A and B are shown apart, each in its own frame.
Chain A
Amino acid sequence: MGTRTSRISFRSKLILFGVVMVSVVGAPFLAIEARRPWLVLDEMIEQGFGLISGFEAGIGQEQLQQMIRFALRTAGEADEEKSDYLVWSFNLLLAGDTLPTAEEVTATLKENEVEVEDFDYQALVAAAQFWRDRFASDPDLLERCRIFKRKLITAKEGAAAFGFEIGDLYLMADDGKSFTFVLDGFEWYESTYPGMIYDVKEHGDEYWRGYLTAGPGYYTNPKYHRFGLLPKFDTDEWGTWFTIWKAAKTDAGFSVFSIDFDAAAVKEQMWRIGLTVFAGTVVLLLAIILISSRLSRNISTPINHLVAGTEAVIREDLDHVVPEVDSPEFQKPIEVFNRMIRKLKEMRELEVSYQALKDLDAMKDNFLSMVSHDLRTPMTSIKGYASILKKRTGKITPEEQKEYLDIIINESDRLTRLVNDLLDLQRLEQGRMALNFVELDLAELAAKSVESFQGAAQAKNLRLTVSSISSNPRVVVDRDRMSQIVANLLSNAIKFTPESGTIEVTVEEVNGEKGRGVKVSVRDSGIGIPADQIPSLFSRFQQVKSLDRRKQEGSGLGLALVRELINQFGGEVGVESVINQGSVFFFILWSVSAGEG
């Protein structure tokens, strides 16, 4: 089975965990908060029913039925076209036996923003007469209505004093055909009259009757308000309402006590709770995301650092340091990781120095092998020709004898030179060579050296020339060693240039970072040196690495000696070469007389 990998990041898991935790802890609080508008509503409803009960208890059944009958009677007789005037006149008569003047009525209407077109005071007087006629047949009724209305107003005001915003409290009657207003607690200009039909436009009387007679209720519109987490209310041009009612069967039909409550307070509370819950949720979510990010960063940042560190180790960047972090859990791993890198670096350094030592050892072996070879070559001639001379004594011509002796002497000189070179090199490298510095003209020295090599050049039919400019800066060097340098370069050039070739020595002035200098070049038309072998050409050890090349370089130590000496003189050496076309060996020495006197 392979390992299962999750694509969900640690951060996402933390957020999920936070949301779950907050949900578990917060859900009950949320539920309680969501209940709060209902509780407020329930309390209001309870108070409302208390109000109705108290009110009902305060009036006698006989009186109630008398008023209902009166209202039901009026419903058949009143001219509904004049309903406004019927309302105003009825309620004004309840307030006093005489009607206010037309001016007083219009002023009050205007004051309370009741819009009336073509106010007709005579219509009001006529409506008042309608009511007076009806009260005349039942003189007790007017007083009864007055008491009843006062009770309604008192109850309404009492409820308001108690902290409830009550739209109104009113009594309705139901004769089985329609709902009819009986009395209410409104001011005269916004009231109803007994017998005024309750206009139920949307659902019809039967629908409402079913709800009203089913028992106490409290919704304005049951169709819309049966379900839902939060209570909903009807909103009309006067505000947002909810209604409670209590219906009772009477001889005259049903009496319905109904209270309109202003739902603004409940609604406001709902909004407040809703906003609080929403804001709280947002704040909590943000907090969860922030904390999760922070926590996951505390984990992921050091892990990323460690991954970067591992990658650095893989690509062998052992100078890499994993940055320290605040998180205490990761201090130790990071510290240990950094220690591991340091340890690896130490091991690497050991390995490198071990390899360097091994290389040096190999180079020394090579050097010894080369020196041994170069010692054996002249020794071979010395011993060989000596043996021949001894064996053939008396059998060879004096010319031959002289030739062999010359060879022995020359090879002995060669052997001596080699030993001297070796010793010189050793002294130079150990800084023990005594140098006798003098100021001299390199052009002059080069010319003399070339002169002394003309014989050797002619023997190979080589054209050896020297050219120099007259105004060369003078340099401060050891004269003998300088001669040795030029001689080494010349003898190499002669050795490696095939017959009839050319060798040109040039002395010229150069200007570089270190000021004025003199460059001496020895250009030959020889066999050349492969480019890859040039960098190690002047190295004492490296030059013998390839057997092929060693022979091209002649008697080994010459170039190493040249380099060491030029270094001692503060100059530099170099070579440019093209295979089968020739090589240019050169050195540059910086003038001290020009600038530094």
Chain B
Amino acid sequence: MTKKILIADDEDNIRRLVRLSLEDDGYELFEARDGAEALAKAREIRPDLIVLDVMMPGMIGYRVCEEVKKGSDTGHAYVLFLSARDSKSSESACLDAGGDQLMTKPFDPDDLSERVKKILG
């Protein structure tokens, strides 16, 4: 069964970049442009992995992650934060919100591809 990945980021260029990084690996890819949309999409498609930006309008990534992990339909999803915020505090904030992994921007597309393979493999 094809794994479903939800890409949530308000920057068009970055969503596209994530898509480019993962599109050759045989996943079913979905996109969301802000927090609210990400949550709605997650409930709709029940993804295996969410690549989640932190700073999005409407609802920030932490909040989306909390809601996803709480939902009975979406709780199984693996959350990979993709954040431009650095520092230790942002890492612990990601983990506190229930996130599984954190990857900081800028990132190497190959690196992302490898990580996702490991996670979903």
Within 8 A of B (CB), among A389-411: 391, 407, 411
Q: Report the bound CA distance from A396 to B114 in whole Å.
A: 21
Interface SS of B by simple majority: loop
Interface SS of A by simple majority: helix
Quick check: is A202 within 8 A (CB to CB) of the other chain?
no
Which residues on the B side are within 8 Å of A369 (C-beta)?
85-87
Indicate which residue in A377, A407, A411, A527 contacts B84 across the interface (CB closer than 8 Å). A377
Indicate which residue in B11, B85, B109 contacts A387 across the interface (CB closer than 8 Å). B109
| Contact bitstring A492-522, B, C-beta under 8 A = 1, else 0 | 0000000000000000000000000000000
| CB closest chain-A residue, reference B59 | A548
Q: Is the CB of A373 within 8 A of B109?
A: no
Quick check: is B121 within 8 A (CB to CB) of the other chain?
no
Q: Report the bound CA distance from A384 to B104 in whole Å.
A: 12
| CB closest chain-A residue, reference B93 | A547
| Contact bitstring B1-32, A, C-beta under 8 A = 1, else 0 | 00000000011011001001100000000000
| CB of A178 to closest CB in B, whole Å | 130
| CB closest chain-B residue, reference A548 | B60
| Contact bitstring A544-585, B, C-beta under 8 A = 1, else 0 | 000110111000000000000000000000000000000000
Q: Is the CB of A388 within 8 A of B20?
A: yes
Q: Is the CB of B106 within 8 A of A382?
A: yes
Q: Report the bound CA distance from A387 to B104 in whole Å.
A: 16
Indicate which residue in A377, A385, A388, A527 contacts B11 across the interface (CB closer than 8 Å). A377
Q: Report the bound CA distance from A411 to B17 in whole Å.
A: 13
Q: Is the CB of A391 within 8 A of B85?
A: no
Within 8 A of A (CB), among B78-117: 84-87, 104-110
| B interface residues, tally (CB under 8 Å) | 25
| CB of B20 to closest CB in A, whole Å | 5
Quick check: is B71 within 8 A (CB to CB) of the other chain?
no
Q: Report the bound CA distance from A372 to B89 in whole Å.
A: 14
Quick check: is A381 within 8 A (CB to CB) of the other chain?
yes
Q: Is the CB of B106 within 8 A of A384?
A: yes
| A interface residues, tally (CB under 8 Å) | 24
Q: Report the bound CA distance from A550 to B54 in whole Å.
A: 12
Which residues on the A side are within 8 Å of B86 (C-beta)?
369, 372, 376
Q: Is the CB of A376 within 8 A of B84?
A: yes
Which residues on the A side are within 8 Å of B21 (C-beta)?
384, 388
| CB of B102 to closest CB in A, whole Å | 14
Q: Is the CB of B13 within 8 A of A381?
A: yes
| Contact bitstring A18-45, B, C-beta under 8 A = 1, else 0 | 0000000000000000000000000000
Which residues on the A side are within 8 Å of B107 (C-beta)?
380, 383-384
Q: Is the CB of B55 within 8 A of A373?
A: yes
Q: A372-B86, A387-B108, A391-B110 are in contact. Are A547 and B17 (CB under 8 A)?
A: no
Indicate which residue in A373, A382, A527 contacts B85 across the interface (CB closer than 8 Å). A373
Indicate which residue in A383, A548, A550 contacts B106 across the interface (CB closer than 8 Å). A383
| CB closest chain-B residue, reference A544 | B55
Which residues on the A side are within 8 Å of B56 (C-beta)?
551
Which residues on the B side are within 8 Å of A548 (C-beta)?
57-60
| CB of A403 to closest CB in B, whole Å | 9
Given contacts A373-B55, A379-B105, 20 further A-B contacts (CB under 8 A): A369-B87, A372-B85, A372-B86, A376-B106, A377-B11, A379-B106, A380-B105, A380-B107, A381-B14, A381-B17, A382-B106, A383-B108, A384-B17, A387-B108, A388-B20, A547-B60, A548-B57, A548-B58, A548-B60, A551-B55
Which B residues are within 8 Å of any A CB, using their own CB?
A: 10-11, 13-14, 17, 20-21, 54-60, 84-87, 104-110
Question: Can you report 25 A-B residue pairs in the complex whose CB atoms are below 8 A from each other?
Answer: A369-B85, A369-B86, A372-B84, A373-B84, A376-B84, A377-B84, A380-B84, A380-B105, A380-B106, A380-B107, A383-B107, A384-B14, A384-B21, A385-B13, A387-B108, A387-B109, A388-B21, A388-B109, A407-B13, A548-B57, A548-B58, A548-B59, A548-B60, A550-B55, A552-B57
Which A residues are within 8 Å of any B CB, using their own CB?
A: 369, 372-374, 376-377, 379-385, 387-388, 391, 407, 411, 527, 547-548, 550-552
